[in-house]
Structure 1
Amino acid sequence: MTSLNEKVAVITGGNSGIGLAAAKLFAAEGAKVVITGRRQQVVDDAVHEIGASAFGIQGDVADPDHHRQVAEIVKERFGHADIYMANAGINTITPSHDVSEAEYDAQFTINARGTFFGVQKIAPIMRDGGSIILVGSLASDKVLDGHAVYAGTKAAINAFARSWAIEFKARGIRVNMLSPGPTETAILEKLGVAPEDHDAFVAMMSGAIPLGRLGQPGELASAALFLASDASSFVTGINLRVDGGMALL
């Protein structure tokens, strides 16, 4: 029997990167997987890649009505949710003196507000004993150039995890934070790393990581699986860093 057999997992931003890797692994472990994303075609492509047990919903995580719709669809289609992974997020690397109001608002709206209202709307349909995974970042613990706003959003998410671990204790719902370090995903290009600079950037970042390399999406997915499954049945309120030891330096 697989570790998530017949469980229902909802993953925001499950159409790419760490979210997609987690969706594929959860499905392989027996879960029915619901992913969300902003672009319908990308969501559809990801659902096809994940397989027959996957279902996609297009929408904006910054909009509480989207989360309400997700909860309604999941309840109607499956009756409940067992796992919720708040993974969707954005990062814009900008020194604080150059951060615009729009840039600040976008990161807090998508990262912090999106996580908060996603959990608020899904919690009523989650079965007791479920698992909530909030995707944070190494940046909430380690100072990184140009990451002040992003770090603030992820620090907020860490506070949410600790509060919710207590709020949901009577229902046996575990709430944990998963904090990736630099990971080899398409987000590198979104952060402005040109394709011709990719190898040099990876080499530079690898030198700052004790394990000497970037993480792979599958490694983060494996950590998410641990938090989603009964393997972590006595774990709640933690910040699980999967960063190759980078937070130590």
Structure 2
Amino acid sequence: MERLKGKRALITGGTTGIGLATAQEFLREGARVAITGTNPETLVSARSALGKDVLVISSDASDVGEQAELAKTIHNEFDQLDVLFINAGIVDMRPLEQWDEAGFDRSISVNFKGPFFLIQALLPWFADPASIVLNTSVNAHIGMPNTSIYGATKAALLSLARTLSGELISRGIRLNAVSPGPVTTPLYGKLGLTEDQLKSVAASIQSQVPAGRFGNAAEIAKAIVFFASDEAAYAVGSELLIDGGMGNI
């Protein structure tokens, strides 16, 4: 199928995990794709995996100034933008007493402030119609210990999907959100835990999923294709929980 044929799409955090899987799905559906990332190694590997026609951009999602530069690059390369998938994010899991201001500010900047100002910077260049999809989380709905700040940032994004939907729909821009449950991606490997600790955390999380397993990135990517496509033209401010039932318990 070519549900995104001719559409110009930007995926932040597109070098690994859900972002990379989404870029692959977008390409299969006929889109022109740009991705961002910060890790030089994964930028190179993503370029190899996706092919020479994909625009691969080094951009720090936490830096407001870089969001403006990213918007300029997209305008120069694509003229207008049909699809934006806000995916770049970090997971910093700590008990309340271990949080400091620097860690707090980092999570807020990457997961919420940067995305907010990227949408603002891209505003003049969105096509009509256009689709924005925000990657939030089941953690916006559940009270998982040690995820206070992460959950708050994702809840903020989820709120943004609703509020900006009302604000931007008159300009032909739809906002929707996907909220994944636990998904097998490199994200968990960035928590600074030992292999045994990671196995323990994974087992604990999996035990809370009625489906009895972690999801995979391709399952999330297919839902994002739907929201990005014209098939979802009547979906405005919607959220799709893809969590194996985790948010229902």
Q: Matched residues in 1 for 2:60 and 2:130: separation? A: 24
- Counterparts of 2:7 and 2:193, CA distance in 1: 38
Q: Could you say what secondary structure the match of 2:215 adopts?
A: coil
CA contact (8 A) 1:205 1:213 kept: no
Equivalent residues, number: 249
The answer as to whether partners of 1:16 and 1:46 remain within 8 angstroms in 2 is: yes
Describe the shift of the 1:131–1:219 C-alpha distance in structure 2 as closer, same or farther (beyond 3 A): same
Task: Say if 2:1 is the partner of 1:11.
Answer: no
Contact 1:86 1:118 in 2 (8 A): no
Distance 1:163 1:241 in 2: 19
Is residue 2:33 matched to residue 1:33? Answer: yes
Partner of 2:242: 242
TM superposition shift of 1:40: 3.2
Say if 1:37 and 1:60, in contact at 8 Å, map to a contact too: yes
Partner of 1:57: 57
C-alpha separation in 2, matches of 1:198 and 1:61: 26
Which residue identity is paired with 2:133? I
What does residue 163 of structure 1 align with? 163
Q: What's 1:147 paired with?
A: 147
TM-score, reference length from structure 1: 0.95
Query: Does 1:223 find its partner at 2:223?
Result: yes
Q: Residue 237 of structure 1: SS of its match in structure 2?
A: coil
Q: Deviations over 1:178-232 (max 9, x none)?
A: 1111000111211245334555544432221111110100001111111111121
Q: Percent identity?
A: 35
2:216 and 2:199 mapped to 1: Cα distance?
Answer: 15
The runs of 5 or more residues in structure 1 that have no matched partner are: none
In the alignment, structure 1 residue 81 sits paired with structure 2 residue 69: no
Query: What secondary structure is seen at the aligned counterpart in 1 of 2:184?
Result: coil
Aligned to 1:168, the other structure's residue is in SS state helix
Task: Indicate whether 1:72 and 2:56 are aligned.
Answer: no
User: How far apart are the structure 1 equivalents of 2:33 and 2:156?
Assistant: 27
Q: Deviations for 1:9-54, whole angstroms, at most 9, x for unmatched residues?
A: 1011001111111011101111111001112342132022112331
What is the CA–CA distance in structure 2 between the aligned matches of 1:43 and 1:82, rounded to whole Å? 23
Consecutive unaligned residues in structure 2, runs of 5 or more: none
Q: Which moved more, 1:198-207 or 1:172-181?
A: 198-207
SS at match of 1:128: strand
Q: 1:55 to 1:172 in 2, by over 3 A?
A: same
Q: What TM-score results when the alignment is normalised by the length of structure 2?
A: 0.95
> Residues 99, 216 of structure 1: CA spacing in aligned structure 2 closer, same or farther, 3 A cutoff?
same
1:91 aligns with 2:76: no
* CA shift in 2, pair 1:217/1:100, >3 Å: same
Q: Structure 2: how far apart are the matches of 1:47 and 1:124?
A: 28
Shift >4 Å, 4+ stretches? 196-201
- Residue of structure 1 in register with 2:112 after alignment: 112
